[in-house]
């Protein structure tokens, strides 16, 4: 495919033809689109009331500048009418979580490691720019046709209008990917992304299992505070497990 031209972030929605629904998430449905009759793109159609759009648009310029081969590229937005469209790179193999669930058994350990490395590269880039992802998990990574994994939805958790999801005491809050600092003081930093990365690696090496399957938020919180951690996945060597475990150190036991 051609390299997409670099342009301003407002995209004329008439240049996009919507082709089929790819899935749905926090902000509504995601569609496959063809832009300028040439480029395959994914279009997030933002359902009204699901996103604080003003805050998002304020940050959009910064997000447009994030460019890395392992980050799902934001191409632009259609903001003049509702629903707002967020137009991104299209990833034909869908979310990493669903890919692991459906095709994981065909992957060898080396490939699982490479997928984890793809995510690491993107996260190193974000950390260097002091950009915090806030919602890193296999469901927020996508797989392209050559099985390269790219990180998406970076920073987007800040614009979700749903207290149950954003508040650390909310029912939909994702304790399973969160470091203790987050559920204690809702403090996000690059270290909280590191914690989530460890959980993501665990998801990769379990081929997409739900972490801490048997615990609800309250139970899990207590267990994590008392030092309980995820177990070594069968497909992970001790060495690999050592890497993921090292992501789950409490702030008090590390410096900084």
Residue positions annotated with a catalytic role: 135
Cβ atoms of 27 and 51 within 8 Å: the answer is: yes
Only segment of 57-65, 87-95, 186-194, 233-241 that touches ligand ADP (CB under 6 A): 87-95
Q: Which residue is nearest to Mg ion (CB)?
A: 153
Site string for ligand ADP, 38-67 (x = CB under 6 A): ----x-x-----------------------
Write out the DSSP string of 72-129. PPEEEEE-SSSSEEEEEE--TT-BHHHHHHHHGGG--HHHHHHHHHHHHHHHHHHHHT
Cβ atoms of 50 and 160 within 8 Å: the answer is: yes
Does 95 bind ligand ADP (CB under 6 A)? Our answer is yes
Does 30 bind ligand ADP (CB under 6 A)? Our answer is yes
Cis status of the peptide bond prior to 83, with omega within 30 of 0: yes
Does 95 bind Mg ion (CB under 5 A)? Our answer is no
Site string for ligand ADP, 234-253 (x = CB under 6 A): --------------------
Q: Which of 140, 192, 217, 236 binds Mg ion (CB under 5 A)?
A: 140
Q: Which is nearer to ligand ADP, 24 or 52 (CB)?
A: 24
Closest CA to 241 of 109, 135, 123, 139: 109
Cα-based distances in Å from 100 to 75, 199, 202? 27, 14, 12
Only segment of 7-15, 25-33, 112-120, 180-188 that touches ligand ADP (CB under 6 A): 25-33
Phi/psi for 21 (5° steps) reads -80, 135
Q: Which is nearer to Mg ion, 141 or 224 (CB)?
A: 141
Closest CA to 122 of 75, 87, 73, 156: 73
The token pair that represents 147 in the structure block: 């099985």
Only segment of 89-97, 101-109, 189-197, 215-223 that touches ligand ADP (CB under 6 A): 89-97
Using the structure block, give the residue that is written with the tokens 């992957």: 107
How many residues bind ligand ADP, per CB under 6 A? 19
Q: Is 213 exposed, middle or buried (0-12, 13-18, 19+ CB in 10 A)?
A: exposed
Closest CA to 162 of 175, 177, 172, 174: 172
Minimum gap (Å) between residue 29 Cβ and ligand ADP: 8
Q: How many residues make up the chain in this entry?
A: 256
Q: Which of 71, 74, 142, 157 binds ligand ADP (CB under 6 A)?
A: 142
Q: Which of 12, 24, 102, 111 binds ligand ADP (CB under 6 A)?
A: 24
Q: Which of 94, 161, 241, 245 binds ligand ADP (CB under 6 A)?
A: 94
Q: Which residues bind Mg ion (CB under 5 A)?
A: 25, 140, 153
Q: Which residues bind ligand ADP (CB under 6 A)?
A: 22-27, 30, 42, 44, 72, 88-91, 94-95, 142, 152-153
């Amino acid at each position: 495919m051609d390299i997409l031209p670099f342009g301003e972030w407002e995209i004329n929605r008439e240049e996009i033809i919507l082709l089929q629904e790819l899935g749905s998430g926090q902000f509504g449905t995601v569609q496959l689109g063809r832009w300028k009759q040439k480029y395959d793109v994914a279009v997030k159609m933002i359902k009204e009331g699901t996103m604080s759009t003003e805050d998002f648009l304020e940050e959009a310029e910064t997000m447009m500048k994030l460019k890395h081969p392992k980050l799902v590229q934001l191409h632009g937005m259609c903001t003049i009418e509702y629903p707002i469209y967020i137009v991104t790179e299209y990833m034909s193999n869908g979310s990493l979580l669903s890919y692991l669930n459906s095709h994981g058994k065909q992957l060898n350990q080396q490939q699982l490691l490479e997928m984890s490395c793809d995510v690491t590269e993107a996260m190193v880039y974000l950390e260097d720019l002091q950009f915090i992802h806030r919602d890193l998990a296999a469901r927020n990574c996508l797989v392209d046709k050559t099985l390269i994994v790219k990180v998406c939805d970076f920073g987007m958790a800040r614009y979700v209008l749903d207290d149950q999801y954003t508040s650390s005491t909310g029912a939909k809050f994702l304790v399973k990917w969160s470091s203790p600092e987050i559920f204690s003081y809702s403090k996000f930093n690059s270290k909280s992304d590191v914690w989530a990365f460890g959980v993501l690696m665990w998801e990769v090496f379990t081929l997409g299992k739900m972490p801490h399957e048997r615990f609800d938020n309250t139970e899990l919180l207590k267990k994590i505070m008392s030092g309980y951690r995820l177990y070594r996945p069968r497909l992970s060597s001790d060495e690999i497990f050592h890497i993921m475990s090292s992501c789950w150190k409490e702030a008090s036991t590390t410096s900084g």
